[in-house]
Amino acid sequence: MASSATGAATSDSRRRVGKYELGRTLGEGTFAKVKFARNVETGENFAIKVLDKDKVLKHKMIGQIKREISTMKLIRHPNVIRMFEVMASKTKIYIVLEFVNGGELFDKIAINGRMKEDDARKYFQQLINAVDYCHSRGVFHRDLKPENLLLDASGNLKVSDFGLSALPQQVREDGLLHTTCGTPNYVAPEVINNKGYDGAKADLWSCGVILFVLMAGYLPFEDSNLMSLYKKIFKAEFTCPPWFSTSAKKLIKRILDPNPEKRITFSELIENEWFKKGYKPPVFESANVSLDDVDAAFDESGNSGNLVVERLEERPVTMNAFELISTSQGLNLGTLFEKPMGLVKRETRFTSKRPADEIISKIEEAATPLGFDVKKKNYKMKLQGSKTGRKGQLSIATEVFEVAPSLFMVELRKSGGDTLEFHNFYKNISPGLQDIVWKPEGRKDTRSGLMGLEPAASERK
């Protein structure tokens, strides 16, 4: 979405699926996109995960996705993102999820530094509650990392993407998972080894890394060279900082045991004295949940009555208030490149008072010398890197939104490739965009890089 270069609104189309109006893209991955959505009947905000049916069929994942979605819809846990309903059109599957607007847990570290031990323990307890509960119902996360740990308006932890983050994986006859996935710094050694692993034990390792980061403010395993990083993980080569209590050090070393057979279990962890301090059991919501919508969405009988229609509505091209509120975390101009490398996110935004055409041209001028192929359409851009990185070619989606007359918000979002390579990209592109970034009066940019170009907190995969 964008306006004309003069800032005047023109007409454009906005998508509706059933009773939901779809807004901006919050995140995207190989198999899905996550869209901000509003229920037009109630005004409530949601996040909708959109799966492409063709890709799902191509990877023979229909049965597995239906099982995992059915299980997740039954889960009502205060620390797990809630799934409300499932719909399908002829080409897409839509999963309606709770929208959480308190930002990411790791924003707290980025802004305030490491947490006090009691605060870290509170979030760790909520994380373990959520993970253990889902494990008890046969659902494993397999990709626990910073962007999957969100906070609600009350500051409670919400884990996102349970059962949905690693859909291509399959359990073989040996009862083990065999697909390497996840963010390298958080992944258990047996996952990297690719010889089969227990999903629960691998999730617990990732929880241990997260606890370390909450208390230390940095990662236990970090190296710019991927093979060196793997060696450190295989050997569990890390050192706890001196401010960790003795009991916390002992617990973390038991969680980050490279031998999954010797690693502490969830049942043992929950009885650990350090873990139990100040522990508050979760309060569960009881509800009668129907799976009729899941069955209808995956009905292969050709019954068109079960399908929703995705339709377009003519609307002025402006960013609605409900969408702007959803981006408020990313419009905070207070922090810039202050986050440790391991905590970088996948999207960034800045505001500009320059005409939309000039914004697009400036981004193209800045990206081309960095080796990016640029494709433009309707104030949207696709930047495709020429080099193959750790996770393939870096691909960046760019979009210009009008938020007020003559005021635009520009979003750059990683749509493919490695997150750290995206971090380096926007650090390198920022000098070329200085002229178009709006800097509020009275605020000086004393740091390197681009004022206002800050990673945004949102629900993503």
Q: Tell whether 130 and 80 lie within a shared domain.
A: no
Q: Tell whether 407 and 382 lie within a shared domain.
A: yes
Which CATH number is 40's domain given?
A: 3.30.200.20
Query: Residue 141's pLDDT is what?
Result: 79
Q: Tell whether 168 and 184 lie within a shared domain.
A: yes
Query: Residue 309's pLDDT is what?
Result: 67
Higher pLDDT among residues 455 and 375, named by residue: 375
Position 50 pLDDT exceeds 70: yes
Burial class (CB in 10 A: 0-12, 13-18, 19+), 242: exposed
Distance CA 186, CA 351 (A): 33
Q: Which residues carry out catalysis?
A: 143
pLDDT classification of 199: cutoffs 50, 70, 90? confident
pLDDT, average across residues 237-249: 95
As annotated, the binding site for ATP includes 49
Position 386 pLDDT exceeds 90: no
283 domain residue, yes or no: no
Q: Tell whether 347 and 438 lie within a shared domain.
A: yes
6 domain residue, yes or no: no
pLDDT, average across residues 414-419: 82
Position 33 pLDDT exceeds 70: yes
| Overall domain count for the chain | 3
403, two tokens: 């938020």
Distance CA 180, CA 142 (A): 9
pLDDT classification of 17: cutoffs 50, 70, 90? confident
As annotated, the binding site includes 49
287 domain residue, yes or no: no
Position 111 pLDDT exceeds 60: yes
Which CATH number is 337's domain given?
A: 3.30.310.80
Q: Tell whether 158 and 81 lie within a shared domain.
A: no
Q: Tell whether 75 and 166 lie within a shared domain.
A: no
459 domain residue, yes or no: no
141 domain residue, yes or no: yes
Q: Tell whether 266 and 326 lie within a shared domain.
A: no
Q: Tell whether 261 and 331 lie within a shared domain.
A: no
Q: Tell whether 204 and 79 lie within a shared domain.
A: no
Position 445 pLDDT exceeds 50: no
282 domain residue, yes or no: no
Query: Residue 434's pLDDT is what?
Result: 86
State which of 218, 248, 276 marks the end of a domain: 276
pLDDT classification of 416: cutoffs 50, 70, 90? confident
Query: Residue 224's pLDDT is what?
Result: 82
**Main-chain dihedrals φ then ψ at residue 127, nearest 5 degrees:** -65, -45
Distance CA 53, CA 57 (A): 6
Distance CA 383, CA 368 (A): 9
Residue-number span of the structural domain to which 308 is assigned: 12-100+293-316
357 domain residue, yes or no: yes
Q: Tell whether 28 and 162 lie within a shared domain.
A: no
pLDDT classification of 324: cutoffs 50, 70, 90? low
Most confident of the following: 38-52, 244-258, 424-438:
244-258
Contact between residue 393 and residue 422 where contact means Cβ atoms under 8 Å apart: no
Mean pLDDT, the chain, integer: 77
284 domain residue, yes or no: no
Contact between residue 414 and residue 347 where contact means Cβ atoms under 8 Å apart: yes
Q: Tell whether 257 and 118 lie within a shared domain.
A: yes
pLDDT, average across residues 33-55: 87
In this prediction the pTM is: 0.66
CA torsion angle for 76, 78, 81, 84 (degrees, to 10)?
A: 40
State which of 284, 301, 316 marks the end of a domain: 316
Contacts of 133 (CB under 8 A, 6+ apart): 75, 77, 80, 282
Distance CA 232, CA 247 (A): 23
Question: How remote is the C-alpha of 82 from its chain's centroid?
Answer: 15
Task: Provide long-range contacts, Cβ within 8 A and 24+ apart, for 436-440.
Answer: 436/352, 436/354, 436/358, 436/359, 436/362, 437/350, 437/351, 437/352, 438/350, 438/351, 438/352, 438/353, 438/407, 440/333
Q: Tell whether 32 and 162 lie within a shared domain.
A: no
Which CATH number is 148's domain given?
A: 1.10.510.10
